Amino acid sequence: MNYQKFRNALFELACFTPNQVFARQPGFDKNNIGRWVKKGMLIKLRNGHYCFPEYLAEPNFALYIANRIYRPSYISLHSALSFYGIIPEAVVQITSVATLKTAGFVNQFGTYAYKTIKPDMMFGYDQKPFLKGRTLLIAQPEKALLDLLYLYPFYNTKKELEALRLDDDFMKDTLNVEILRNYTAKFSSQALGKRVELLLNIYGL
């Protein structure tokens, strides 16, 4: 299989693994992948995960990759809060939570960080429509806040919480306090509950 036939067969997968290649071409020479990466004809996302360089121009494709290269996971924490415009800063890395061990990867699309949560905390995320029928797994705003407060417990004072500079309009008009409290209860953490109530108090909720 030459490169053009390879591209035609795999391009629509967007992000693929060698096993997906072998499923389409059992006799495929795996060494081709390494050669094509060196020539810039493929991008290595992490060991065993690749995509075509044309996707570098696709808006938000870096977010889609986050879901694909470490699973199960969903985008959360600062990246989700930035996605919704809840925090003002542009994030320098794409942050996700996963049931696997803490991990990080760097590739041409950016820097990826994954924080570990327990399987029973793997909830509160949506499948948002993405490129050509694909979906993007991203935390709901309330769950992104909870993941942040749970995984970064130093956000436990008025000063630290105010330093997040959460959007006033979102906090007062859009945040679903009932969902936030219901999700908080699922964590079964008194310390988290106190941080959540302090946050709500700061915004008069």
Together in a domain, 40 and 95 = no
Band (168; pLDDT cuts 50, 70, 90): very high
Say how many domains are in the chain.
2
Kindly state whether residues 44 and 86 are assigned to the same domain: no
107 and 18, same domain (yes or no): no
Q: Which of 92 and 176 is assigned the larger pLDDT?
A: 176
- 50 and 80 both lie in a single domain: no
Statement to judge: residues 81 and 168 lie in one domain: yes
Q: Are strands 110-116 and 94-98 parallel, antiparallel or unpaired?
A: parallel
Q: Is residue 65 domain-shared with residue 122, that is, in the same domain?
A: yes
Q: Which domain holds residue 171?
A: 61-202
In the three-class reduction of DSSP (H, G, I as helix; E, B as strand; rest coil), residue 114 is classed as strand
Task: Indicate if 103 and 147 belong to the same structural domain.
Answer: yes
Measured CA to CA in angstroms, residue 141 lies from 9, 79, 85, 111, 138 at distances of 37, 11, 10, 22, 9
Instruction: Give the length of the chain.
Output: 205
Q: Enter the pTM of the model.
A: 0.93
Task: Write the DSSP assignment of 121-151 as a string of letters.
Answer: G--SEEEEE-GGG-EEEEE-HHHHHHHHHHH
Q: Helix or strand or coil: residue 60?
A: coil
* Model confidence pLDDT, tens digit, residues 55-89: 999 988 999 999 999 999 999 999 999 999 999 87
pLDDT of residue 25: 87
pLDDT at 7: 94
Task: Report the pLDDT averaged over residues 99-120.
Answer: 97
Same-domain check for residues 129 and 113? yes
